[in-house]
Structure 1
Amino acid sequence: MNFNQKNIIITGGSSGIGKATAQLLVSLGANLTIIARNQTTLDQAQAEIELVKLHQNQKFFTLSADVSVREEAENAIKRAIELLGSVDILILSAGMAYPGYFRELPIEVFERTMAVNYWGSLYCIREVLPKMVEQNQGKIILISSAAGLIGIYGYTAYSPTKFALRGLAESLRGELKPLGIQVSIVYPPDTNTPQLVAENKTKPPETKAINGMVKPWEPEAVAQDILQGIKNNQFAITPGLEIKLLNIFHSLLLSLINRYFDHVIQNFKS
């Protein structure tokens, strides 16, 4: 697939994996609208991304919206399509994580995490779908996590939201394929992003020990894998060998993985 002159919308496009993907796409000639909550961060991202344009006439826009609020998400997608003229690809990278012990996390953290990660993706998909159906083509890329393949200690507010995205993607894939719309889901490992920095502030030591098993990726490397997966029409995009194996064998390996996790956690209890 050639991304030159493709019209693409990215939520959460002002930082982390979303921004790295936006930069790569713009460098390949794509027209882009990125959506994020913070206008200051959007302005900074815009300045960086403008520098890598392949063509001076490329379209690039930013929109400030909280995708967890249905009206804001719908209006932002609607406006993005108006600005671009059409939409070829929707990449859903907006997300949040707030790790901690289940019994200590406020219920608002669970509600907010589900609102951003799951509902924020669903609202945007529903708004973009009529245009893609009209065009009889399009690609929808959901960003899940390795924690969407296996539940991880300390991520009781986060993992379920990423599992939910997996269920949504698997359910949508067959329904939308006859309409010419490709659905993909990405399972990134830990990635060096501002979100990871924020997570580490509340992450239990047991979670840090488990996550320390795998070195974090750089967002640019994840972005490369995302684009390669889009080109190949992959349903599951799995950066790195560990995630590929986890995606294929996680049910078979679950007992062994849980025993290892229990061993790691027990070291903190003894």
Structure 2
Amino acid sequence: MNPAFWNGRHVVVTGGSSGIGLAATELLTEAGALVTVLALDDNNAKALCRRALPNLVVAAADVTDPDQVAAALDAGRAAHGTIRSVITCAGIVKPGYFHELSDADLRRHMDINYFGTLHTVRRALPDLMATQAGTITCISSAAGLVGVFGYGAYSPSKFAVRGLVEVLRQEYKPHGITVTGVYPPDVDTPMLAGEQKLKPPELIALSNGENPLSAAQVAQAMLKGTEFGRASVVPGAETKVIKWVAGALPGLLTSWADGKIAQARAKGLAGQAQA
């Protein structure tokens, strides 16, 4: 991470009061960036406010509400001036069998993960286009690179973020804006802790949550990738392999996943029979 890139730059971070967003916020404020965090008005946001950093504004906003996003960005502009970078980290995950997820679950994932990203980027675009050196960085997921059993709500929303990132990169390159998609695996955050107890056995076989990357590791990689204008950032060696195999040998990845799922189901059925 190069502090000179960020020093004095107004950066908007959604979901910046916890997880990867908080790690990014801490790195950015230390580097001298002028940071506006968009977060729900909860205990995490209140704790961040209590730090009382002169280069940090915490603006309460539900990213699913375009008006709240616009108001929060205005609060940031009033304190820090023109927005030069946007980093979207706000997101949710609720794993489960697709037929057991509610319509509300499916819609909420799209509203927060995809439309929350979209609303923020759209309302910051006039600033970014005026600077001719703006950056947009959006967190998708490794589950936005390949579909994953048990992520029937989460994975499609992250694929949508990936598609948005790829379109934005092409459209706004002529305006001097770089766009970076971030595709992390399991990360040691409150969100991961919350989803572990909801994972079906087949998903645990594919992604058991062991040895997750730290939020700081992902934030470091994300900010460095943004500095260099990379189209994608894929933290973690295993995730890089998955990305390569998904593109070069998709049949191999499908066979591996099917095998893991079959083993998990057979184990579950055997356990039921013994019981």
TM-score (norm 1): 0.92
Equivalent runs, 1:60-209 vs 2, <5 Å: 60-209=56-205
> Residue 185 of structure 1 contacts residue 236 of structure 1 at CA under 8 Å; is this kept in 2?
yes
1:228 pairs with 2:224: yes
Give the secondary structure class of the aligned counterpart of 2:38: strand
Structure 1 position 213, deviation (Å): 8.0
Partner SS state of residue 62, structure 1: strand
1:25 corresponds to which residue? 28
Please, which runs of 5 or more residues in structure 2 have no aligned partner?
A: 267-275
Q: Partner amino acid for 1:203?
A: K
Q: How does 1:42-57 map to 2 (within 5 A)?
A: 42-47=45-50
| Aligned AA (1:166) | R
> What letter matches 2:228 in structure 1?
N
Alpha-carbon separation, structure 2, partners of 1:81 and 1:115: 25
Moved more, 251-260 or 19-28: 251-260
Structure-2 separation of matches of 1:110 and 1:128 = 27
2:181 partner SS: strand
**AA matched with 1:79:** A
User: 1:99 aligns to what SS in structure 2?
Assistant: coil
Mapped to 1, the partners of 2:113 and 2:36 lie a distance apart of: 19
Mark the CA change 1:142 to 1:114 in structure 2 (over 3 Å): closer, same or farther: same
Matched, 1:240 2:242: no
Contact 1:144-1:187 within 8 A present in 2 as well: yes
Distance in 2 between residues matched to 1:10 and 1:75, nearest whole Å: 14
In 2, the alpha carbon distance for the partners of 1:269 and 1:243 equals: 24
Moved more, 172-181 or 244-253: 244-253
Structure 1 residue 150, shift from structure 2 partner: 0.3
Which structure 1 residue ranges, 5 or more long, are not aligned?
none
The one of 15, 20, 23 equivalent to 2:18 is 15
User: 1:255 is matched with which residue?
Assistant: 251
Cα deviations across residues 28-58 of structure 1 (Å, max 9, x unaligned)? 111111111133210213445x5xx6xxxx4
Q: Tell me the SS of whatever aligns to 2:98.
A: coil
Equivalent residue letter for 2:61: A
What code does the residue aligned with 2:46 have? D
Q: Look up the match of 1:39.
A: 42
Is 2:84–2:127's contact at 8 Å kept on the other side of the alignment? no
TM-score normalised over the length of structure 2: 0.91
How far apart, in 1, do the equivalents of 2:204 and 2:244 lie? 25
State how far apart, in whole Å, the 1-side matches of 2:244 and 2:252 are: 15
The amino acid that maps onto 2:11 is I
SS at match of 1:118: helix
Equivalent residues of 1:12, 1:35 under 8 A apart? yes
Is the Cα contact below 8 Å between 1:78 and 1:127 reproduced in 2? no
- CA change 1:120–1:213 in 2 (3 A) is closer
Give yes or no for contact 2:84–2:134 (8 Å, CA) kept in 1: yes
How many residues align structurally?
A: 263
Identity of aligned residues (%): 38
Q: Deviations over 1:68-119 (max 9, x none)?
A: 1222122222322222111121000000000000011111000000000000
Q: Distance in 1 between matches of 2:209 and 2:66?
A: 37
Q: Which structure has the greater CA radius of gyration?
A: 2
Runs of 4+ in 1 over 4 A off after TM superposition: none
Amino acid at match of 1:229: G
What letter matches 2:36 in structure 1?
Answer: T
What residue in structure 2 maps to residue 264 of structure 1?
260
Does the CA contact (< 8 Å) of 1:4 and 1:30 recur in 2?
A: yes
